[in-house]
Amino acid sequence: VVYGEHASVEFTTLSGNSDGGNNDGGNNDGGPDEVYENMNVNPNWSVAYTGKGVIGESNCNHTVTVNSSDNNPYTIAVVSASDFSVENLKVSSEELAADMVEYVQQYNQATDPDITLEDLLFRGNAKDAFENLDYHPGYYKAVAIGITSNGVVSGLYAVSPTFEIKEETPTSLFSS
């Protein structure tokens, strides 16, 4: 194409990868119902960012809740909404599962008693904290990712609607 000549461009917007004009950093509908290389939405899991909450005896600023009506094991992660896609989820899920297996191996070499991967996975309803979000304002999605007790990604997942973490602003009571 030469400057000044007419040219045409065709865009195809893929579900789950677009802002949709909502200025929310990504889909706000809870994520795509896409299937990609055996990654399938688990209709028995519902994922939600629940904000401030209590886990055990700890007060937490950022909690994610998964309501589950099945017994499939999973872990919970938070991802950037603009980076979320089922394709990325497949790769990052495999990396996360491998990291969890390695963590169990290293933990068991250093301590007694031993733990298993099953000890790190959730079944049924669960809540987890993500305090590192305090330092990273932006748009996110929480994801439940199916991982078997052998460290294999099961292919099941569920995604929360997009949520925003806002930068904390100091109050007038704050002094340096």
Task: Check whether 109 has a pLDDT greater than 70.
Answer: yes
Residue 113: per-residue pLDDT: 84
What are the beta bridge partners of residue 145? Answer: 75, 157
In sequence order, which ranges of 77-147 are alpha helices (DSSP H)? 86-110
What are the Cα distances from residue 60, in Å, to 39, 41, 128, 163?
31, 28, 9, 17
Looking at residue 170, its pLDDT comes to: 74
Supply the pTM of this predicted model: 0.76
Q: Does the pLDDT at position 118 exceed 60?
A: yes
pLDDT at residue number 2: 43
**How does pLDDT run across 60-80, given as a tens digit for each residue?**
999 999 999 999 999 999 999
Q: What is the pLDDT of residue 34?
A: 55
Which of the residue ranges 25-29, 83-87, 96-100 would you say has the lowest mean pLDDT?
Answer: 25-29
Q: What percent of the chain stands above pLDDT 70?
A: 78
CA distances (Å), origin 141, targets 30, 110, 161: 8, 34, 6
Task: Indicate the average pLDDT of the chain.
Answer: 82
